[in-house]
Amino acid sequence: MIYDTLQHRDQYRDLPERILRGLDYLAETDFSALPDGRYEIDGDKLFANVGSYVTKPANDTPEAHGKYMDIQYVFEGKELIGVGPLEEMGEIVEARPEGDIWLRKAGRLDYLTLEKGRFIALWPGDAHAPGIAADGPAPARKCVVKVLL
């Protein structure tokens, strides 16, 4: 997992090219001009999902992925995201292999704040519970870059 600001993205130049392209996409895109939806950067190897939502009081089913990593970036509003090692989560409560997502019972999670300028990069071993209200439920918009590993 990486939790940092986009202004520091140059320090990650030794990471694989797709991850770098994802970070550059987040730093260089005017999301206020984009409607919600999927945006292909390199087909199914690298793409972005932009979405609007209302943060929720809790997220008791952290998710994990098998083939893709997430680079999550909240560009409007703020959320808390719970993160923890996949092996510390409980059993699978819902599997959606076609979408590369498995929801689990929550184990021990640590909480980080996502807001404009800050991103979190999550590998398949990083369970994450996004969309949690920081100061009570509120509207937010997020871009999640999906990177095929």
pLDDT, position 43: 97
Please state, in angstroms and rounded to a whole number, the distance separating the CA atoms of residues 100 and 112: 23
Specify the pTM.
0.95
Number of domains present in the structure of the chain: 1
Q: Residue 39 maps to which CATH number?
A: 2.60.120.370
Confidence at residue 53, expressed as pLDDT on a 0 to 100 scale: 98
**Starting at the edge strand that comes first in sequence, how are the strands of the sheet with 68-76 ordered?**
2-5, 118-122, 68-76, 139-148, 46-54, 37-42
Question: How do residues 13-58 score in pLDDT, each as one tens digit?
Answer: 999 999 999 999 999 999 999 999 999 999 999 999 999 999 999 9
pLDDT tens, residue by residue, 50-66: 999 999 999 999 999 99
Task: Return the pLDDT at 29.
Answer: 97
Other Cβ atoms within 10 Å of 92 Cβ, number: 12
Give me the domain span that covers residue 29.
Answer: 2-148
142: confidence class by pLDDT, cuts 50, 70, 90: very high
Spacing of C-alpha 16 from chain mean position: 18
Burial environment of residue 40 by CB neighbours within 10 A (0 to 12, 13 to 18, 19 or more)? exposed
Whole-number pLDDT of residue 123: 98
Give the tens place of pLDDT for each residue, 60-113: 999 999 999 999 999 999 999 999 999 999 999 999 999 999 999 999 999 999
Q: What's residue 3's pLDDT? A: 98
Q: Report pLDDT for 27.
A: 96
- For residues 10 and 133, give the distance between their C-alpha atoms in angstroms, rounded to a whole number: 30
